[in-house]
Amino acid sequence: MDMFTAIAEPTRRHILEMLASRGQLSASVISHKFPVSQPAISQHLKILREAKLVDMEKRAQQRLYRVNPRTMLELERWAEYMKKLWSGRFDRLEEVLKYGK
């Protein structure tokens, strides 16, 4: 799954926000923050791993998750690129509306 499909789902975005603000968390800590089953959260975490948005480390019986900074940087670069494109379009639209060119 690509990163955009993965972050389209609100629960997965919330998991990413939790990891970004708190750092590394175990699957059990993450699952206790949601009103859905632990298997449902495990599925969300699997999708985030497949999209390379999070990294997972096994420590004994725990699975620890953290944000993958490389993928987040890629997402940030894409968002910045899109912002520049749209800013240019809005600047041109403003010019047309202002001067009729």
pLDDT for 52: 96
Note the pTM of the prediction, 2 decimals.
0.79
Instruction: Give the span between the Cα atoms of 70 and 98, in whole angstroms.
Output: 42
The number of beta carbons lying within 10 Å of the beta carbon of residue 31 is 19
Phi, psi of 37 (to 5 degrees): -70, 160
pLDDT for 87: 73
Tally the residues of the chain. 101
Averages of pLDDT over each 10 residues, the chain, 101 residues: 93 96 95 94 97 94 95 92 77 69 59
Tokens 């699975």, residue? 63
Do residues 65 and 56 lie in contact, with contact meaning Cβ atoms separated by under 8 Å? yes
